Structure 1
Amino acid sequence: MEAPSPEIRITGSRGRGEVLVRPAGSRTALFLGPWPFSHLMLWFSAPGRQRGHHGLASFKLLWCLCLLALTSLPQWVWAPPYKIGVVGPWTCDPLFSKALPEVAARLAIERINKDPSFDLGYSFEYVILNEDCQASRALSSFISHHQMASGFIGPANPGYCEAASLLGNSWDKGIFSWACVNYELDNTNSHPTFSRTLPSPIRVLVTIMKYFQWAHAGVISSDEDVWVHTAHRVASALRSRGLPVGVVLTTGQDSQSIQKALQRIRQADRILIIIMCMHSTLIGGETQTHLLEWAHDLKMTDGTYVFVPYDALLYSLPYKHTPYQVLRNNPKLREAYDAVLTITVESQEKTFYQAFMEAAARGEIPEKLESDQVSPLFGTIYNSIYFIAQAMNNAMKENGRASAASLVQHSRNMQFYGFNQLIRTDSNGNGISDYVILDTNWKEWELHSTYTVDMETELLRFRETPIHFPGGRPPQADAKCWFAEGKICQGGIDPAFAVMVCLALLIALLSINGFAYFIRRRINKIQLIKGPNRILLTLEDVTFIKPHFGSKRGSRASVSFQITSEVQSGRFPRLSFSSGSLTPATYENSNIAIYEGDWVWLKKFPSGDFGDIKSIKSSASDMFEMMKDLHHENINPLVGFFYDSGMFAIVTEFCSRRSLEDILTNQDVKLDWMFKSSLLLDLIKGMKYLHHREFAHGRLKSRNCVVDGRFVLKVTDYGFNDILETLRLSQEEPSAEELLWMAPELLRAPRGSRLRSFAGDVYSFAIIMQEVMVRGTPFCMMDLPAKEIIERLKKPPPVYRPVVSPEHAPPECLQLMKQCWAEAAAQRPTFDEIFNQFKTFNKGKKTNIIDSMLRMLEQYSSNLEDLIRERTGELEIEKQKTEKLLTQMLPPSVAESLKKGCTVEPEGFDLVTLYFSDIVGFTTISAMSEPIEVVDLLNDLYTLFDAIIGSHDVYKVETIGDAYMVASGLPKRNGMRHAAEIANMSLDILSSVGTFKMRHMPEVPVRIRIGLHSGPVAAGVVGLTMPRYCLFGDTVNTASRMESTGLPYRIHVSHSTVTILRTLSEGYEVELRGRTELKGKGTEETFWLVGKKGFTKPLPVPPPVGKDGQVGHGLQPVEIAAFQRRKAEKQLVRNKP
């Protein structure tokens, strides 16, 4: 026989058990007391024989007792593991890797597992999970960590914190983050498994900004993705609290990028505090070092701004007796750092470095690691793991549950000592650990504590030394309203202060200019307003007109033109001759006026403050007189200047043939080379005259060359820049398209110093030559955007110019064009030289533009017949489209009467059948859908219905929302067939709806209810604008009541319709519903139409009727839940990079 084996039983629950050892054949057992394990039972038995094997049994018993002695050491040998995933960019960011996440996690885990005060029921483990530095791939890598951890510390990139929280909720795994700044995560209902291990950085920032009343902020980040997303989330969180964030910028380490960012901050409105989202210069952040050095060079660290390193909010930066070599070795940075306020987690008795060295001395950390080579983020990682352990300890003590939501719930009202600071949370789970504001001055390289930020009360307490602000005082405070709850703040300037400044400026201005103003007032009025040579015109001198097309021929005064929107833009309008009359207009809607019997054109200046009319005349009179003295056949003469009602404009003669640009772009105008050369020669003559008068144009382009009724080209818009300078008006930055005519040397000059030059006008003429030759816009053959063309012109080599093929112009013209756009301005010919060369191109012959016009007229007459035939065919096609659309909107007979201009008389119909249907639960569907999704639903459904009614003798009356109305028996009578047609159509519609799916809610069925009724109606067309064919009568109301009292997936039929169907004897299957209450009609006997003999299409099964005889008239809760679940899944998929 086999001898009984010694028996060992280990039982227990919730981490505490009992060990029972019973020798073979004995009735007594040895109790070894409590045993640390969870829900585990082991049975050991050893086979053996009764004779000769008692020694072996005793050996086995002794072996088991040894194992028990070994396992009785203070550790959770039998507890299940709880693995914490530490998420961060540990491998791709060297400064994050300096936090030594693996060393920090191992130290925390070892201390937790050895701490007897913890009753966790789990054995803590850790795993380091790398976060991709590219935000577009960080979320996908986080999803891949799903099975690798029981809970997560992270993520470090706020760009996907919200998505990670939602995933954690779905996985039932807690997300404990020290870096997530998203204010949306504060909603515990939406994010029940998310918790912050530190106080919200935004709360800390807002507390300090409120204390110093610094509301206007700017955010700048380095170009790493983690900091770019941090910057945008910080700005969004501050704006959610009503604070104005002027700019959110990203910069690299290069000087150009940093200077550009700082210049934008200086140009922004009233920024006081600059939040730097990047690695701190004190722990090796090079971008912040360069940023502060350039800020010092740009005089931005003189007390105008306060710089705040954001990353110091995420850890405890050492400061007690801790010199920083980066400040000691860089005097410029040390001076710049005087404008920096460092806000960091408050340390307790020991600094981070002291706590680190003590751990190393105890052998818990490898001794080869130097504390000053480790990022203080080490302590944040350590504290986060302890944070989870403390929350789990609380949860296990209370309910023994370690779910993610339970851990977050029990992270409230916690207090424990972390790596080197006290970690506390309040009853809502918000961190209330203290922060400290550190400051230095330009002489020292140590940080001093100035204020304690008490996050429990959100107040500041003064400490050792005051803050040393550059210049001796902090930046000027904003208005208090920015931080007042329930108030909307419109600005940061005290109204009383603004009034005082404006009053002082007004007094100074009046004192300086008052005397001169009154002396010159009378002289200006006499010289410029009165007399035959006046050049300043008012509304009393001109009459604004708006030309129209007409049908009569007449004199020049009766010639009218079609004016497009270019009238308002300041360009010469695109006009075409016809005859007609003139309509009076105002200066606000027309640029054409009549002055002393002649038509004139007004080029309006940009709106602005032109000051007093007298001051304008005195400051600009010399320029006005010089421009009016310009007289040449190819110069559009200046008539004067208009100033009235706040509008200032140049008044020139009106040219009826539009601008040169308009002629070139109008393909109906045929231009041969003779015509083109004539226009170019006129341009050369006009510019030659201007340059002889020492008058550079500066704005020469094809749209500033106008053509009069005799096809003579005239230069206009000259002197525009001079007037702007004389009147001291600001010039708007021209678009890239407007700069295509400007010479490269002028493009390279700063905007304020782009002076005009004679050589620049020659270059502009060359670009116009290219336009005339190819009949295209400047650089049209290069196929590049205007902005890129301008950049290439600014930065040769290579020299970038248009490419014109030889077939567009004679070779000598092409050569002249290339000379005119030479890169070196000194190598360009003058207009005298251009004129002499151009005359030789025609071999001494004069360009006769009349001969060119006669040849073009001959071509026009030969092509006119083909053009008329083509246009007639197009007109017929459009007519057919219009008639088809009209017959779709109205009955054909009614549409035909309206086309003939006849009145459509109302018509009565003795007996017709009406159909009404609507969608059950449409209100709920609309509330759960986007407006465009509702439109798509109705369009898909009504398209399906329209396809069905096409096979029946019915007429679609209208659709209102989800209601669909159809009639049969009108406007075309069909005897008694109307009831059968409507019944057949209803069955077809009901069958098709059974398989209809909404695109955005495919899991929710579309249930309709249908009502049918027969009776007399009257029909007619109502209204002149958008006329409608409408039905009237009690039959319409009754049919609507049949629909509204119906049930989903059922056809509700009145007694009158059933009577007709039975008379037709076509096999319709009708069930009696019973007496039905119809609003306004009382109770009537109604029926259900459930089928027809020979109708084989499947019909949807109506919902079951409840005990009260009714069914739900909306969506069922299970359908709503299914839709919301699918919508959430789609949102998660959409958030994936």
Structure 2
Amino acid sequence: MEDSTTANSTFLCSILDIEIVTLAIIHPVLLGSLPYLGPAYIKGLQDIRQKYPSLNVTQTILWEKSYRSCQDLQADGVNKVTANVDKKYQRSESDPCSTTVLMWAGCSEVAEVNPIARELDLFMLTSTASNVPDLRKKRLAPTWITITVLSMSTYVNIYVNVVSMFNWTSFAIIVDNGGNPYFPQLAQSLYPQIAPGRQVHRENINTKEDVDFKKIFLHLNSLTRVFFYLGDPNGFRKLLLKATELNSTNGEHVYVIGTPFRLSSEPGYLHWKKNDEDDEVVRFAYRSVLIIEPDGSVYGQTDGSDSFSLEMRNLSKTKYNYTYGPYELISPHPASTYAGMMMLAQVMENLRSTNACEMWSSGRETAKLFLNRSFETDVGRFYIGPLGERIPTVQVNQLDWNTSQIRPLFVQDPADLRLHAVNPPQWPGTWPPLNEPKCGFRGDAPLCTPKGNTDLYIGSGGGAVALIILLTCVVFMFTRRTANNALLNNDSWRIDSTNLRAVGDTNQVSVPKTLSEIIGNEKNVTMKYVNDQLVWVTAATKLSIPSTIQAFRPSPSALLLINHLRRLDHPNVNRFLGLTVSHSGWHVSFVSDFVQRGALTKLLPQVTLDSDLQIALIFDILKGVRAIVQSAIRYHGNLSSNCCYVDKHFTVKIGEAGFNQLRKLIRQESTDTTDDRNRDIRAVGIILLYVITVDDRFASLEKFESAPDKPSPDSFSPEFSKVVPILKLSAEGSPATATSDVNSLTRKVTVALGLSGGRIDDTHLLERIIRRLENYTTELDHQVAVRTTALIDEQRKCDLLLREMLPAKHIELLRKGTVPEPETFDLATILFTEIGGFKEIVKNSKPAFVMLFLNDVYTAFDSVLSRFDVYKVETIKDSYMVVSGIPMRNGHAHGKEICELALSLLDVYSAFGVLFDGTSLQSGIHTGSCAAGVVGLKAPRYCLFGDTVNTASRMLMYSDVSRIHISESTCTLLKEYFPELETEKRGTIEIKGKGSITTYWLAAEPLSMTARKLN
């Protein structure tokens, strides 16, 4: 490599130095330790050097001891990374052809190191779980990418998908709070996204204690048949045993358990097999279990090959003297770690070849290159989502009844996060399983209610039956004659023309569109209001003799038809309201319901419909026509697309049914129905072709017949390939159709569209469109839940931040717009601390490092405060101010709380003092009266006032290295109430503004301090 001093923005680095800094765990029982991950690092370095010779990748592994827990590692991990990374960061700044990367797999210590990476702009790549909330926010972790298999959002999504797929509206979630913290965190993330619109029964348990699974099961069994278990598989096994005792593993119940990953390939491991007498019982119960877990690629298994696993096993044994067990699987961390190194190499080689120095030297810019991107590696495809976390492939699995191996039923692909079926289910009961039994939880559903002992009422004798039939016939004939007379004398069909008011003449809301826009100009129709109801008034005929609405009397046959029309009530037929006569007395008009979207011929050219909506319209038309045919009207008489209207719910309503017949009866003309019925059959075919093609030549029978060239309905989607020929024959009136009635045509159309049985009344008719609407609603609910959760989360964080700035009781007053009144406290104890030697740190360090140092110190200090009854007032530069007895009075305990806190802070800072020689913590304490209150409204602060504050500050000013300087009033308080806190007289000293006063040192640590540390 050329001298870095000659390198500039246009110089192409022939070799790019990449230093990987790794924080290591040595102890072998942890999945992120070197015996597991070391082989992945070795193989990754070897393969990068072979495939990318222009990248000089080296690795620095940091450790001091065999960490036995993540907490041990976290305790000094930050210090080790800080001490080692700063030198490499400085080297990278001076050498444009080098960069530093943080990379490891472990626990939540990544959250502690993240501020270092953010401040120094270092790229950080980990295979650590992403369930730390701050890490999933790019604003707080802009340089961090994770390749963990434990993507919280992915697992939340698959649970939501499962619930939506099976249409479960109620279920139970059993959460184990006594084991792996991953499961309570998963439940916390899952609940707000899965609960909206559903009944979720949450049950919290602790498997470290005795759990009464029988009691839990009996309680939940009366509420649902679906059980989600988030927790220890051993607890789940106990739940299944209790369910088996209660005969609840026969397929009527479904039990769902999520396992992040398995550590053994032994059949039954982690689930049913424990090598005890209950193995076979639980294995049988697993027939009613669905298992959510990642696919085999997380272990490095691709294309049925396990070569990566074999290489990891060999390197673990030869390099780290660790031997895997016979069934032991390698954890997902080695495959993720190896893939991460190869992904890093791909990105860095691309940046090197394009000379994008400003990107590889910036962790923020490097991290952006991983987002929304798929990487191909030797251990599979890795997709990194928009939040910087890997989206793994997750499956819904089931225990194979024959082999006792795990078999996948559905796979959630990272690309679309949808479930795809891969194998048919093996299920002992109804599939898909229901969340409520068909007969209800108590067997009292109407479907299963006994119909009664009808046999007792049948067979009372032939004579009685004959008598009943005779009486029924007599009653029927009498009732029919009476009903006909009532119909002829019923004038409810009359609508007084004086009750019709034009649109705009009243205070009614005007119609959004004109008549010409929704039904066309060719119809003699007006919009009117009748008793505040918007209606259509269709001109019917002109009378030979003028009349009034009261004097006008149709013939008996016309009156019967009028009443039949008014009684025709069907969702797909526009409702006929009655007749009206104009003011002049010459014209009779028909009044019917207003339909918002208007005629098909006006609506369809303006919108784009997919096949699902077209099928919905087709069956609306068929159901409407069939309702007319099966009614007393028998036929429409003038059917066309112009009288098929669409309401606001996009439902088709057949309008003007029977109008042609009624018009002829009013005129006392002949009504020959044969031609009209044949015309209806042809019209149905033409209308449906119009819905499919939106060709104007299919708008009516007249246009179809008068077209110079017969239209060819060749513009249709493949779904209609079988139904179009049937409709063409119907439209042409061909005898080959054998569709002598609408029912026959309906059956043929239904079968041609792939709906079973040729029926249109079953729910499966609109299943696709309903499912689409449900999916849209579910997605909308999901987005609302996500945003609501985000808002609640932000409000919670805002509240937490406010509580750090202000006392809780003052926050509520400020929210109400009330300025809190200041208070006077007779006695309180105040502590000031500062870092001796801080000025030297500022003078000799970069600003970013100074801020990082202060952040680490005060974060460590803040973590101690929760153990004491104190309130942090503020931090200014290296000064830290804490008070006890304010804002909550605590008697005389404030002196003890502050003094013990001061001792704890000294102990905490001792770790920093080792790293930064020449620095120390010094403290000052004083007890006295004080005033406190909120100052400011835009950025309110809780401030203390009075001489006690000044005196405490002076105690700090005259303190000494690693000493706690206390005033005489504090010493007196301790001697009287807390003698276990020993003090040492310093003597009389001159203090600026106070004169000569006697002060003391806090000398010893009492037993209560030791107890606090242990807790």
Q: What TM-score comes out, normalization by structure 1 length?
A: 0.33
Structure number with bigger Rg:
1
